[in-house]
Amino acid sequence: MPNIYNLDIFIMQSILIIIVIGIIIFILRFDYTARLERRFSKYSVNVINQEELSLFDKFKELYLEKRQKLTKLLYRIKIFDNYSKKYEKYCDNTRIIREDPMDYISNKMITGIVGIIIILLSDVLQYESVTSFQIILAFLVGFFVPDILLISRQKYRKMQIERDMLKAIIIMNNSFKSGLSIMQAIYIVSNELDGPISEEFKKMYIDLSFGLNMEVVFERFTKRVDTKEAKYITTSLNVLNKTGGNIVQVFASVERNSFTRKKLQEELGALAASSKAIYKILIVIPFILASLIFILNPSYFAPLFTTSIGIFLLIVIILIYVLYIIIIRKVVKVKVML
């Protein structure tokens, strides 16, 4: 009977989590649609009246207002002031309204509080008392979840830049063949391309417009982007500025090397696709089997959490699993050193 009761609670909690995730996805899609609608409304015949804010916009304004108050409060604490500096790399300083790194700390605090609320609701549904360990663990999980999202977004942004960097090099090379200057070539790239690569070239164009040295501008670009092609461009332009030479020939060489490197990466990626698929499947299988066993017999894994030898074995299993992931990733990962 207790097993059936625990299973019902687990199913109910899973349904609630799925509903919450669905609501969040719906809100994000609605916000994206509303922003697109406002963006293209000026080109339409019947302009949409935006005098009255929607429910989502009101909620968003309320959230931003509360976050701003929390940000001002956190600035008074020296620890959070120093901690916020590591988030400066995620801020886009080219926007009209400058992003504040302390806002990321405020978001982390809010998600930590949301984690505490979720664990409180979960224990209330199970008619159990909340322990201080659960509250601390829920807050820490909620506090560090935004970091995972930021790192994932940064990695995806870097992948987009690496994908479009060859296009930027080709456009710059064609601009140099037409007799344009470096600043003009950067401006053309920022207008012709979309996405993160366009934003990075816009930052370079703004820096050059304000009179910064070209070496400093491209060094900043290399640190922000951190790709091989960016290092090639920076090194080539620095050498040309100091020693002189034919910029068209130099960029033609950079273009050939970048094209060859990308071609090799795609070929090696195709060859290693099957091994990567097997690696991902092997990672997921233990979780699938554990979930099936837990659904069929929820008390099966209880000794792992209630006995000292079980906790020791659980730690050993986790360490072996992490070591397995690291080793397989090292074997499967292929780098093109060119």
Tens of pLDDT, residue by residue over 131-144, are 777 788 888 888 88
Alpha-carbon distance of 127 to 120, in angstroms, equals 10
* Mean pLDDT, residues 164-174 taken together: 87
What is residue 195's DSSP assignment? S
Nearest to 210 by CA among 183, 231, 242: 183
Q: How confident is the model at residue 247 (pLDDT cuts 50, 70, 90)?
A: confident
Alpha-carbon distance of 240 to 236, in angstroms, equals 6
Alpha-carbon distance of 137 to 112, in angstroms, equals 9
What is residue 84's DSSP assignment? G
Q: Which residues, 6 or more positions from 120, have their beta carbon under 8 angstroms from its beta carbon?
A: 130
Segment among 168-172, 173-177, 228-232 with least mean pLDDT: 228-232
* Mean pLDDT, residues 166-175 taken together: 87
pLDDT at 338 over 60: no
What is residue 95's DSSP assignment? S
Alpha-carbon distance of 124 to 91, in angstroms, equals 39
List pLDDT tens digits, range 40-82: 666 655 544 555 666 667 777 787 888 888 888 888 888 888 8
Alpha-carbon distance of 202 to 100, in angstroms, equals 20
Per-residue model confidence (pLDDT) at position 65 = 83
Segment among 266-275, 299-308, 317-326 with least mean pLDDT: 266-275
Segment among 199-208, 240-249, 256-265 with least mean pLDDT: 240-249
Note whether 9 and 125 are within 8 A (CB).
yes
Note whether 247 and 176 are within 8 A (CB).
yes
16 or 300, which is more confident? 300
Note whether 218 and 200 are within 8 A (CB).
no
N-term to C-term CA, the chain: 64
What is residue 178's DSSP assignment? T
Structure tokens at 121: 């609701």
pLDDT at 301 over 60: yes
Per-residue model confidence (pLDDT) at position 334 = 60
Would you state the torsion angle of the CA atoms of residues 231, 236, 241, 244, taken in this order, to the nearest 10 degrees? 170
Q: Where are the domains of the chain?
A: 1-35, 57-130, 159-261, 272-332
